Amino acid sequence: MRTIRLLLLTLLIVAIPAASLAQFGAAITIAPPALPVYTQPMAPAEGYLWTPGYWSYGEEGYFWVPGTWVMAPEAGLLWTPGYWGWGGNAFAWNEGYWGTNVGFYGGVNYGFGYGGIGYQGGYWNNGGFYYNRSVNNVNVTNIHNVYNKTVINNTTFNHVSYNGGNGGTHARPTVGEEAASHERHTPATAAQSEHQQAAGKNHELLASVNHGRPAIAATAKPAEFSGHGVVAARQAGAPYKATASKAAESKTTANRTNENRGATNKAAANRSNENKAAENRAAATRTSENRAVENKAAATRASENKAAENKTAATRTSENKGATNKAAATRSNENKAAENKAAATRSNENKAAENKAAKPREARPTSESKPTTAHAQPAPRQQTTPRAEATPHAPPASHPATTARAQPAPHPAREAPKAEERPRN
């Protein structure tokens, strides 16, 4: 179980970036041990670059990650080592990275070309890496791109492994290192991550076990912790203060426990208070909202009732006015129709009376209207059909007043001829 927890913590340290690691290391108040003294194993082949060893931190404290040769992820990239830095109240780990230029690594002298500023162990040229034999262990039989350039290390070098704080380096980034920090970076390769994880699982690499002098100080290839390529440390970089470190670690652990417990209690109390305050606010808000809704509903109902009453009154007024106007119009129309009908009736009656009065006067024959030729030319007696020879049925005249009542011819049998008109025998 402890191994699993250690592995998870190691993975966390490797996975998170430097800026986030400062937060993880907020409780790491113990400075890392001094860098151990060891020799560099021989480079396995061309294209491998040296990555110096460093102290990492796990569940059981600091453990050593051996220096090793690593194949560069691509030609032209150089390795900038990570470093521990004091942040004012704790130590934080700043991750290393690959880039076209070597950036700031805390001024820590890791050796083998990493003297605290830049890198003097070699350079890239036309896709090939050239090794400086004065600081690198290379076999010239297998590797031909080599040169020699003397590198002068600081004689006051004390194998310090961190920047800032009590006893650390006081280096600050140069202009070139600051510019390199803003360039495109490539994180550690999978082989480097596997190497670091394997070191975290090795109990012998704990500082509390090896006292700053690990049995595996460097390897020829990543994660190969046995064989002829493994190099042990010759000595610790500085006397290891085991008692002080353990007491400090215990104190730090107790502080973390108390801080965590206090933070948990405080968080629980804050959540309780926040929940109560939120509930009170919610209740007050609901009350206010309900009251506002009720007031709004009452106002709406009052407005609707008033509007309905006004509308009903207006409707009744309009209907009454319409009925009154309609009744008046109906009466007016009826009166006009009655008047027109009465006038027409009177006119017809007058006309009929006039016509009736005029017709008898025209039918009664006057003495002047009697025919004068009736006596002068009487019809012959031998006529046996006086009615047929009577005045023929004349067609009706166009004016009914003068022809409708024409007098029939006098019947010959009823009117005797005058004496002087009688025929003589």
Q: At what angle do helices 190-201 and 2-15 cross, to 10 degrees?
A: 150
Query: What is the predicted pLDDT for the residue at 255?
Result: 56
Both tokens of residue 195? 């190497």
Task: For 340-370, write each residue's pLDDT tens digit.
Answer: 887 788 888 888 777 777 665 544 444 444 4
> Residues 6 or more apart from 421 whose CB is under 8 A from it?
375, 376, 378
Domain ranges of the chain: 2-240, 242-343
Phi, psi of 16 (to 5 degrees): -80, 145
* For residue 6, pLDDT beyond 50: no
How far is residue 327 from each of residues 273, 320, 339, measured CA to CA in Å?
79, 10, 18
pLDDT (mean) for 386-392: 45
pLDDT digit string (tens) for 159-213?
999 999 999 999 999 999 999 999 999 999 999 999 999 999 999 999 999 999 9
- Asked if the model's pLDDT at residue 386 lies above 50, the reply is no
pLDDT tens column, 61-111:
999 999 999 999 999 999 999 999 999 899 999 999 999 999 999 999 999
